[in-house]
Amino acid sequence: MNEGHTTSCLLCETTLLDKDEARILPNTHSAFSKAKNISSKNSFGSSIKSYSKRWKNSFLSQISNQNVNSNLRELQKPLNLLGLFFVALGLMLWVNYYFVIRPNQNLVKPEAEKTKKIEPIEVPQGLFSYGGAPIFAPLVASGINGLIETKYSGYELRYTKPLNQDYSSFNGIRMLIDGELSFAYNERPLTDEEYKIAKLRNINLKQIPIALDGVVVYGNKQVNTKQLNREQLLKIFLGEIDNWHNIDPNIEDLPIVPVVVQNEDLQMLGITNNTQKLSVSTEYTANYTQALRKVISTPGSISFASATIVKNQQLIKMFDLGDGSSSDYVSPTVNNELNIADFKSGRYPLTRRIFIVLREDGTLDQKAGLFYVNYLNGIEGKNKIERVGLLPIANYRVQFQQ
């Protein structure tokens, strides 16, 4: 590690000259002093580098040069301590990262990933048609569509009335498949037949649950009984019970007149439309408004509808319901307000999920339907849903931006 012009070792001052060369120089100490002066002129950075090289070579040279072993051991002592210091420091930093920093990063990571997975979509621009089951009529009447149009310029909605005057869910899905609607309201799950018809036209239907609805059974005010169970209700609509005297012996003679909206879904009552026939006394109407009028004007009549449609009607009687043949009756209202708590818990025996249905075809209509779902599942939409008497249940949401 001594430089080429050095005549004696910078560490031990041993001469580096052979005998002939040594005679030329009168004093090896002066040669050492000269080399030392030259070395002192190096920069601080080169000194550090030179020092590192010396340490390395001194370790190797101790094997062959026993005269400098003691000096090297003395030189290596502080370096060993310094090395141990850095090893300990590295170990401490590793422990801190593995047990402190890394766990905290893992706590934050899921939220970051969740945000990343939500892909924003633009507000669809255009005039979009909706229709289907009138289950959403109270929600639309609350002004929710107007709020959306005001908040998101360029997104416009229009209700499409069926030309055949059929306001049922079945006709609404048919209109959606035929391309008459951008999206449809539906008060029941899609049927296998509807999925099959859509597939034949290379269309995928998607139903998205929006809310839970309580179904109210109501009748004419002259009916002097207030309680029914679901077993009795089924027999009434099938015609197996055709007089209120069979429900309540205190009623002398009052024929039962079931009132049903045309193409209404009766599966919630336990009735399969294809295999079971309704009572011969059944009266049919085109919509829920006509059904209400028919029940109000017809003694002994009975019907059912969404709680949101009949909750404020004063000219009808709402029945408390028991599940099966039970006599544990639950009222659809509490203190003149809908019994949302029992709708939610399932204690009230007649509830259903309602949906928005759209076509998965990559068109602007699909985007319009998803956008509508987003709003209904946002804070403003859920507040409106609750105010009309429905129970928000869905978390399906795609973040959008204007």
Phi-psi region at 19: left, alpha or beta (left = phi > 0; alpha = psi -120 to 50): alpha
**How far is CA 259 from each of CA 136, 168, 181, 220, 277, rounded to the nearest angstrom?**
21, 15, 29, 11, 14
Beta-sheet strands, E only, within 64-143: 121-122, 126-132
Residue 252 lies in a domain: yes
Residue 136 lies in a domain: yes
In this model, does residue 9 exceed pLDDT 60? yes
> What DSSP string runs through 322-368?
ESTT----B-SEETTEE-HHHHHHT-SS-EEEEEEEEE-SSSHHHHH
Q: Are 358 and 365 in contact (CB under 8 A)?
A: yes
Residue 52 lies in a domain: no
Distance CA 332, CA 342 (A): 8
Residue 106 lies in a domain: no
Residue whose structure tokens are 């000194």: 47
> What DSSP string runs through 174-231?
HHHHTTS-SEEEESSPPPHHHHHHHHHTT--EEEEEEEEEEEEEEEETT----EEEHH
Residue 1 lies in a domain: no
Q: What is the pLDDT of residue 401?
A: 45
Evaluate the CA torsion angle 377, 354, 332, 301 in order and state its sign.
Answer: positive
Distance CA 71, CA 12 (A): 8
CB atoms within 10 A of CB 385: 26
Structure token pair of residue 131:
């229709």
Structure token pair of residue 300:
């002994």
* 96-148 pLDDT tens trace: 766 667 666 555 545 444 444 545 558 999 999 999 988 888 899 999 999 99
Q: What is the pLDDT of residue 122?
A: 81
- More confident position, 311 or 5: 311
- Supply the Cα-derived Rg of the chain in whole angstroms: 44
Residue 23 lies in a domain: no
Q: How many CA atoms lie within 13 A of 42 on its CB side?
A: 13
- Which structural domain range is residue 164 located in? 121-401
Distance CA 185, CA 303 (A): 21
Residue 21 lies in a domain: no
Residue 107 lies in a domain: no
Q: What is the pLDDT of residue 190?
A: 94
Q: Are 295 and 257 in contact (CB under 8 A)?
A: no
- As for how many domains the chain has, the answer is 1
Q: What is the pLDDT of residue 33?
A: 46
Q: What is the pLDDT of residue 121?
A: 58
* 268-324 pLDDT tens trace: 888 875 567 899 999 999 889 999 999 999 999 999 999 999 988 999 999 999 999
pLDDT band for position 192 (cuts 50, 70, 90): very high
**What SS3 state is found at 373?**
helix
**Residue 65: which residues within 8 A CB-CB, separation 6 or more?**
none
Closest to 303 measured CA to CA, from 274, 326, 279, 328: 279
**Residue 221: which residues within 8 A CB-CB, separation 6 or more?**
315, 316, 317
Residue 158 maps to which CATH number?
3.40.190.290
Average pLDDT value for residue range 353-381: 93
> What DSSP string runs through 41-71?
TS-HHHHHHHHHHHHHHHHHHTTT-GGGHHH
Q: What's the predicted TM-score (pTM) here?
A: 0.66
Per-chain mean pLDDT for the chain: 81
